[in-house]
Structure 1
């Protein structure tokens, strides 16, 4: 029992660190103050280099280091993460931070729908209700952007959420270790960004922020969040992803005085409340099933 409690505490600590690290991604991108292709080039390049160094050290210390890209499924997952990175950076420069992180939280709905369609994992009624509520929340956010110049950025955020959900679904279907695949996947947007920078020119006024983001923040957040499920349940890990949804707009508001619109706050509140309520329900259901199983085995 003591070991179980220790592992649970370790899992909470890991995912807490990973979730908090992820909240500063968007503020660091904005602090670097450059054009989107230059930022994407530096962020992708430093993340890729950091991932390769970590993998080489791991491989030198242990023969059980995971593959960088495990087979065809790995290539597809890496490509999806790469496209998602391009649409994410595009959204950063074309919509508000609040809209972006609220819409990205919508990836849970996409993941549920894709799992239903391709993995035959039928959502429970409570999950379907949560999905409907989240569709309503995102509709409020996107609808308020029509005619404001933010619609393109919102659609790019939706594309990014869909790419993430697709990558998660394929990873689950393959059953392979995709720990480094998301980090290696940044090579695709890096190459695209390099081509665009050669045409438009390179401009990053404060490069140290984006180097720190790519070389330190991204590897830490991916490593911690990817290892959390070893110690705690999936719903508990998912709740820590909400830290970015809640905290990133606050950091940007404090640093850049970027105030979310009323409809963005309404839609975001619907998303956050729905996600927290659904995650709490999943945890409760999981505990109830474990308790029932324990009574049957007793």
Structure 2
């Protein structure tokens, strides 16, 4: 068991790594939209480039720096790779079948899914405050889904909800394994790449309007973002990792509004506000709780 100082340093390291990954992820959807490509073509190219970037980085570490970094660490790694691969497909379908605001608000349910799965699979029982935040967030998600039903993009909203749940499963599996999973989601990209290519009808069927944005996304943004987010659970809890996905919820609609002048619907905005408010309140409570706990465990000088 780590001593308090080492544990605190490890926790800070995890927070910094994961925060950087979450920040990088906020420009994923804007780059996909800028590419002016169809869903399957974007999935195929972005995923293939991510896989190539991962293969290059792993080769450099293995053969240049002589570091043995596992690609798929055991059965847990296989589970994580599978979940990330499926999440990539559902996420891409959501991007092209619902509004950006709806998608990122729904993805904000990730921390709560992570808390439930951690309770079920790891035995980390959520606090009553967490359960209350979940109940409030469900109201927000239902508002967005019903709004999507009226607007005709319910399919995209459901794809987004599936992405949130599957991603939470990948985070929880990584946390349970407590081993390095940095390359797992990157090498997992080979599966959606092949599926996207098949659905597009092969290389000749790819519809790529502005592929330079997909190149930037697939070779740089996604590899860095997901390596950081997949490495985070090695140092911090699954719900904490999931919280950094909220940067996408907050910042991505701003980038989309600045670039495309696309604003969320009033109902979607209300649903999103409910979700974000519940999460911010829960995060503040969690931070204060951890600080009180740390102070209670701090060594005291005898009087």
The equivalent of 2:132 in structure 1 is: 129
The equivalent of 1:285 in structure 2 is: 289
The equivalent of 1:110 in structure 2 is: 113
Structure 2 gaps, min length 5: none
Distance 2:8 2:119 in 1: 33
Contact 2:87–2:167 (8 Å) recurs in 1:
yes
After superposition, the Cα gap between the structure-2 partners of 1:278 and 1:297, relative to the gap in structure 1 and judged at 3 Å, is farther
After superposition, the Cα gap between the structure-2 partners of 1:103 and 1:150, relative to the gap in structure 1 and judged at 3 Å, is same
The equivalent of 2:26 in structure 1 is: 23
The equivalent of 2:253 in structure 1 is: 249
After superposition, the Cα gap between the structure-2 partners of 1:77 and 1:240, relative to the gap in structure 1 and judged at 3 Å, is closer
After superposition, the Cα gap between the structure-2 partners of 1:28 and 1:107, relative to the gap in structure 1 and judged at 3 Å, is same
Distance 1:8 1:122 in 2: 20
Distance 2:10 2:164 in 1: 31
Which residue of the other structure, out of 272, 284, 296, is the alignment partner of 2:276? 272
CA deviations over 1:106-130 (Å, ceiling 9, x no partner): 1112112222222222211011001
CA deviations over 1:67-102 (Å, ceiling 9, x no partner): 111122211211111110000000001000000001
Question: Which TM-score applies when normalising by structure 2?
Answer: 0.89
The structural deviation recorded for 1:58 is 1.4
Equivalent runs, 1:44-55 vs 2, <5 Å:
44-55=47-58
Distance 1:161 1:236 in 2: 15
Equivalent runs, 1:136-215 vs 2, <5 Å:
136-198=139-201, 201-215=205-219
The structural deviation recorded for 1:290 is 1.2
Contact 1:66–1:179 (8 Å) recurs in 2:
no
CA deviations over 1:210-262 (Å, ceiling 9, x no partner): 01001011122223445567788877655443221011111111111211001
CA deviations over 1:121-179 (Å, ceiling 9, x no partner): 22110110011111111011001111321100000001111110111222222333211
Distance 1:169 1:265 in 2: 29
Equivalent runs, 1:214-253 vs 2, <5 Å:
214-226=218-230, 238-253=242-257
Distance 2:86 2:65 in 1: 31
The equivalent of 2:80 in structure 1 is: 77
Structure 1 gaps, min length 5: none
Distance 2:35 2:147 in 1: 29
Q: Paired residues, what number?
A: 298
- Runs of 4 or more consecutive aligned structure 1 residues displaced over 6 Å after TM superposition: 2-12, 229-236
Contact 1:140–1:263 (8 Å) recurs in 2:
yes
Which residue of the other structure, out of 64, 69, 75, is the alignment partner of 1:66? 69
Does 2:290 correspond to 1:294? Answer: no
Give the RMSD, CA atoms, in angstroms: 2.8
Contact 1:236–1:283 (8 Å) recurs in 2:
no
Contact 1:239–1:276 (8 Å) recurs in 2:
no
